Amino acid sequence: MNSPRVISAIIGQTVKESIRAKWLIMFTVVYFLVTINVPFLILIIERLLPPSTLNSYLVYLGTISYPFLPLLSLPLGALSIVEEKESGTLQYLLSNPISRMQFLAGRFFGLMISTSLVLLAGYGIAAVVAFNVRYSVLQGLGFIIGLSLGLNVIMLSVALVISTMCRRKVTALSVAIFMWFLLVLVSDFGGSFGAILAVANGTKIALIAALLNPIESAGLISEIHLNAYGAELAMTGEIIENSFGASNGLWIMGVSLFLWGALGVGLMIILFKYVDLV
Amino acid sequence: MLEVKNVSKRFGKFQALKDVSFTVPNNGRALLLGPNGAGKSTMIKAVMGVHRFAGEIIVDGINVSRKGVQARERIGYVPQYSAFYETLTVDQESKFIAKIKGASKDAIQEKLAIVGLTDATKKTMKALSGGMRQRFALAMALLTNPPMLIFDEPLANIDLKGQLDFMGLARNLARGGHTLLIATHLTGMSEFADQVIVLNRGRKIAEGTPDVLLAQLDPDQTIYLRPKAGHEKEVSEILARYNAKIINDQSLTMVVSIPNSRKFTLLNSLFSNGGVLDDIAIEPSKIEAAYTKFLEEKAPA
């Protein structure tokens, strides 16, 4: 069996390339800065906020970081295959004793490792530096990181679908950015739900839109899990809690995320296997 | 070694290959000849399993569509554009490819030595010249000593020195018992071939040994004549009688072109006229010299 050897070679090359390209370090810094939230940190250090505020901060962290996460994985993933199509390296690689699935697995897991490292390092360093990592915080932060990693997998699979279908880098990047814009716009973060709620059956539409949006689903899971309340629980969060209750709401959003993951990975595999790549 | 059976490939409305079939036996040296857009590269990509296609391609008894990885283990491939990861050094790139192919570090050193790149291992791929890149691609193709080598326009993007270096290496390989398939247009590689397959507009329009094809084609041959002083007019009349095409008569040596089938009667006439020539040279027929004419005559409408 040459599969593990071949896949590990592609994974290694993908991770090394991401380190060489410097984006891994750049995004780690971005996530570190998003996580430590300097003004908030100063208020805590000056004891101007009660200790319970930390939980509110974690809710905020999930809400603020999930919409930005696809900005890491969507463009990187969307460029990864189409870049190799344009340069000709994909054709050369596939002319070697390597199957399409081995290449895809290597590239997917390589990107997953690279981007997960960014999230772990960004959040992790901030946790150590800013919050002095207490168990309770670690638990909450761990949940946010875990959810981020899940969302990252979904976004990578969507990005690789885009990369497989596009023939030019600029097209792939445009589609990826548009996809991000669409997902963020149709969410509480983008402010669309306020408008949706004003129309007839707005509650149902907002609920369906939230279920169809993995970023929104991830944000809702994190809010409900971290017992957000009042203003912390955004509009769709309140709808979910009132309609289904917190526990059922978690399940529904979890299933939504799982289906996104299954659909993304499934589509990525099918397309990469059957589409003419070069 | 290689069996191509009724292979067709379509890109949307464009028919890139149509029912192409040919066989290259073990240790055979085949030239896939055709102008740009004839379908040569598409054919090679189909053999390498990069393109999906209709029909069947068998490499060393293995069906490319069903067991592509095993089939490619038996092929070393030198592409038209040697695309590598530009930021990697020769050493890093070769280790990466060796890992994919399951080749040892010793094999890397051995093959880089064969192509004369041992001293370039610290250079990045982007720092290599076109010729060096092709030699590197050749070294990588040879890593696992595959029984078959496929070249796709190997001389298309390199300078004259690179071409000569590469031809020297290919000449050695041709003697080394590899089965060779070389896709090319007019590049003077017919010396390697014992079999020629001519493609045009996605269809096979001829196949055979170079000699047989040349006989079929009746290609024009180039003859260099130097008439004796005072006999220029006489020579010109003889050439006109046999419809020989005068390419150049501005210097002492005339350059004329005549179909192979009429060559001997022309020469006979020139020599039987009491020696009107000081010197004569005949350029040997090459398959490339004739195939443009062949494409015009036999191309499907």
Domain residue ranges in chain B: 2-213, 220-284
Which range, of A56-60, B66-70, B247-251, averages the lowest pLDDT?
A: A56-60
Contact B48 A13 (CB under 8 A): no
- H or E element: which one contains B193? none
pLDDT in tens, chain A (278 residues): 578 899 999 999 998 888 877 777 888 888 777 777 777 767 766 777 766 666 677 777 777 788 888 888 898 899 999 999 998 899 899 999 999 999 999 999 999 999 888 888 877 777 676 666 566 667 777 888 888 899 999 999 999 999 999 989 999 999 999 999 888 877 666 666 666 666 667 677 777 777 788 888 888 888 888 776 666 666 777 777 777 777 888 888 889 899 999 999 999 999 998 888 77
Residue pair B288/B188 in contact (Cβ under 8 Å)? The answer is yes
Poorest-confidence range of A127-136, B62-71, B111-120, B165-174? Answer: A127-136
Mean pLDDT of B262-271: 84
Q: For residue B69, what is the nearest residue in chain A, using CA coordinates? A: A97
Q: Which helix (H) or strand (E) holds B73?
A: none
Give the pLDDT confidence score for residue B179 in this predicted structure.
Answer: 87
Neighbours of B16 (CB within 10 A): 22
Pair type for strands B220-227 and B277-282: antiparallel
User: What is the mean pLDDT of the segment spanning B214-233?
Assistant: 80
Of B73, B79, B102, which has the smallest distance from its Cβ to A91's Cβ? B79
* pLDDT score of B285: 66
For chain B, what percent of residues have pLDDT higher than 70? 88
Nearest-neighbour CA in chain A from B39: distance (Å): 14
Q: Which of A89, A91, A97 is facing B85, going by the closest CB pair? A: A89
pLDDT of residue B201 exceeding 90: no
> Shortest CB distance from B83 goes to which of A10, A92, A102?
A92
Length of chain B: 301
Of the candidates B51, B72, B87, the beta carbon closest to that of A276 is on: B51
Residues of B within an 8 Å Cβ radius of A = 11, 45, 48-52, 68-70, 72-73, 75, 77, 79, 81-87, 96-97, 99-102
Tell me whether residues A89 and B81 touch, CB distance under 8 A. no
pLDDT band at B287 (very low <50, low <70, confident <90, very high): low
Residue whose C-alpha is closest to residue A177's, from A167, A187, A188, A169: A169
Q: Exposed/middle/buried for A8, CB within 10 Å: 0-12, 13-18, 19+?
A: middle
* Of B33-37, B198-202, B293-297, minimum mean pLDDT range: B293-297
Q: Is the pLDDT of residue B219 over 80?
A: no
B202 vs A64 pLDDT, higher one: B202
Mutate to test the interface with A, among B65, B72, B85 (most CBs of A within 10 A): B85
pLDDT of residue A271: 92
pLDDT of res. A178:
93
- Check whether B172 has a pLDDT greater than 80: no
Residue-level pLDDT at A168: 92
Contact check, Cβ <8 Å, A96/B87: no
Q: How confident is the model at residue B301 (pLDDT cuts 50, 70, 90)?
A: very low
Interface of A with B (CB under 8 A): 2, 5-6, 8-10, 13, 17, 20, 87-89, 91-99, 102, 274, 276-278
**Record: contact A2-B83, CB cut-off 8 A:** no
What is the CATH superfamily name and number for domain B220-284? ACT-like. Chain A, domain 2 (3.30.70.1150)
CA-nearest residue of chain B to A93?
B97
pLDDT for position A136: 64
Q: In what order do the strands lie in the sheet with B220-227?
A: B245-248, B254-259, B220-227, B277-282
**Does ipTM come in above 0.85?**
no
Q: B232 to each of B65, B247, B256, B263, B281, how far by Cα in Å?
A: 64, 15, 13, 19, 17
Mind telling me how many Å the CA of A40 is from chain B's nearest CA?
Answer: 42
Q: Is the pLDDT of residue B296 over 70?
A: no
Mean pLDDT is lowest, of A111-115, A149-153, B156-160, B252-256, for: B156-160
**Residue B294 scores a pLDDT above 70:** no
DSSP A133: -
Least confident of A124-138, B132-146, B220-234, B277-291: A124-138
Q: Which CATH architecture has domain B2-213?
A: 3-Layer(aba) Sandwich (3.40)
Q: Which site among A20, A90, A92, A277 would you substitute to test the B interface, given the most B Cβ atoms closer than 10 Å to its Cβ?
A: A92
Which position has the higher pLDDT, B164 or B255? B255
Structure tokens at A165: 């279908």
Q: Provide, as residue numbers in chain B, all residues whose Cβ is less than 8 Å from the Cβ of A89.
A: 83-85
* Residue range B148-159: mean pLDDT, rounded: 81
Compute the Cα dihedral for B103, B109, B110, B115 and give only its sign: positive
More confident residue, B300 or B275: B275
Which two structure tokens, joined as six digits, stand for B200? Answer: 């045009």
Q: What is the pLDDT of residue B237?
A: 86
Is A157:A108 a contact under the CB 8 Å cutoff? yes
Please compute the mean of the pLDDT values over residues B84-88 and round it to a whole number. 89
Averaged pLDDT for residues B90-116: 91
- Please count the residue pairs, one from chain A and one from chain B, whose beta carbons lie less than 8 angstroms apart: 71
CA distance A264 to A24: 23
Which of B14, B69, B70, B84 best tests the A interface by mutation, with the highest count of A CBs <10 A?
A: B69
Q: Which two three-digit tokens encode residue B95? A: 């280790």
Q: Which residues in chain A are contacts of B157 at CB distance < 8 A?
A: none
Report CA dihedral (B133, B138, B144, B149) to the nearest 10 degrees.
140
Check residues A204 and B126 and name the one with the higher pLDDT: B126
